[in-house]
Amino acid sequence: MQAAVLYDQRDIRIIETPIPAIGDDEVLVKNKVSTTCGTDVKNYKRGYPLLKPPHPYGHEFSGVVAEVGKNVTKFHVGDRVAVHNSAPCGHCYWCKHGQPSMCENLLFNRGSYAEYVKVPEPIVRQNMFVMPDSMSHKLASLMEPFSCAVYGIQNCPIQQGDFVVINGAGPIGLMFARLAVLRGAQVLVTDLKQNRLDVAQRMGVWKVLNLTGVEDTVEAVRDLTDEHRGADVVIEATGLIDVWKTSCRMARKGGFVLLFGGTKSGSVLEVDATLLHYSQITIKGVFHTTPLCVQEAFKLLEMGVIDENDFVNNEYRLPDLERAILEHASGAVIKNAIVYD
C-alpha cells in the first residue's frame, strides 16, 4: 500500500509499504478519507520533538473495515466506521479518577495518511463506531477534533444568554462556536482571517470580529459587551501564548476562561495577580478528550449539528499530501481532505 511518512521537518515522503498485519483484538480499516489538522501542520514544521523519525503521519480518518481479528465481535468486514485517534488504558491513576484525557498510557494511533490503517485494541474497544448510511466519511473524519471541542465546551459553565467569546476561528474554534450557539449563548468569534469568520457566521454566531489592524483586542471585545464588563466565558482556540494572555483579560469579574489551544513548549503565561484576586476569574486548561466525549461527538455528528462542507474544503490524492498540508497552513481553507479509492 501507499503511506505517507514524515522523515523530518518539511520532509513528507509517500512510500510503498506492506499492508499492516493485525492481532486478534485489532481491526484493519481501508481508508476512504483523511482530513488535515493543525497538529499535522505543527508536526510538518517542527517534527515530533520527542520521537525519532521516520514517523507514520496523520491522525484523522474514516473508512471501511477490511479485516477483523478473531476476538473482535463489534465490527465486521464492510462496516463503514468512524475511528478516533487515541484511547486511554482505563486502569491507571488518572483513568480511575475519571480524568482519562490525562491517562498515563494514552495510546495515539498515527499513520492515517495511508491506504490502510491498523486500529489497536484500546481504540477498537472504546473509540470506534459503525456509521449510519446517512453519515459521510468526511463528516466521520471530523469526529476526533469535534470530540476535543465537545470535551472543552463541557468544561465551560455556559448558561443560556451568556456572552461567550471564542478567540480563533480555525476548525476547533469553529466547532466551539457551533457548540456554544447550541447552548443558547450570545457568541462572538474573533480571528484575523475573514474567510474563517465567514464560516463562523454560518455556525449561527451573534457577531464576528476581524482583529486585523486592531491594536487593543481586549478593549475591542469588551466594547461589545454590556457596560464594557467583559465576557461571561472566554475560549482560547489559537494556541498562541499572546492570545492566552489577552483571553484572560477579556473575562468579566467572576468570569471563566478556557485555555484550549496547545502552545509551543516553553511558553509562559503571565497573569496580573491583582486582577485575578479582585476579579475572581476562573482560568482552566484542558487537553484532548475522553471516551465519553468521543461517543457524544459521534452522536452529535449523527444529528447533523455540523456540516462537513463548512469544515472540509478541497480534495487531494495522497501523492499531493504536502500541497494539502501547506494550503491548510496558509489559512486559505479550514481543512482539506485526502481521498482514497
Please report, as ranges, the residues that interact with Zn ion according to CB under 5 A.
37, 60, 88-89, 92, 95, 103, 145
Measured between alpha carbons, how far is residue 267 from residues 41, 239, 261 in Å? 19, 10, 12
Q: Which is nearer to Zn ion, 89 or 339 (CB)?
A: 89
Q: Which is nearer to Zn ion, 247 or 289 (CB)?
A: 289
**Shortest spacing between CB 127 and Zn ion, in angstroms:** 13
**Shortest spacing between CB 72 and Zn ion, in angstroms:** 22
**Shortest spacing between CB 3 and Zn ion, in angstroms:** 18
Q: Which is nearer to Zn ion, 156 or 172 (CB)?
A: 172
**Shortest spacing between CB 41 and Zn ion, in angstroms:** 10
**Shortest spacing between CB 69 and Zn ion, in angstroms:** 22
Cell of 306: 455540523
Q: Which is nearer to Zn ion, 2 or 99 (CB)?
A: 99
Cell of 33: 478519507
End-to-end CA distance of the chain: 12
Q: Which is nearer to Zn ion, 49 or 78 (CB)?
A: 49
Q: Which is nearer to Zn ion, 103 or 301 (CB)?
A: 103
Measured between alpha carbons, how far is residue 152 from residues 185, 203, 210 in Å? 15, 17, 24
Phi, psi (rounded to 5 degrees) for 313? -95, -65
**Shortest spacing between CB 249 and Zn ion, in angstroms:** 29
- CA dist 274 and 296 (Å) reads 39
Cell 481543512, located at residue: 335
- CA dist 190 and 197 (Å) reads 7
b vs e for 21-54, b when ≥16 Cβ sit within 10 Å of the residue's Cβ?
ebeebbbbbbbbbbbbbbbbeebbeebeeeeeee
- CA dist 234 and 245 (Å) reads 11
Annotate 87-125 with DSSP letters as a single string: E--SSSHHHHTT-GGG-TT-EE----SBSEEEE-HHHHH
CB of 274 within 8 A of CB of 70? no
Q: Which is nearer to Zn ion, 142 or 158 (CB)?
A: 142
**Shortest spacing between CB 109 and Zn ion, in angstroms:** 12
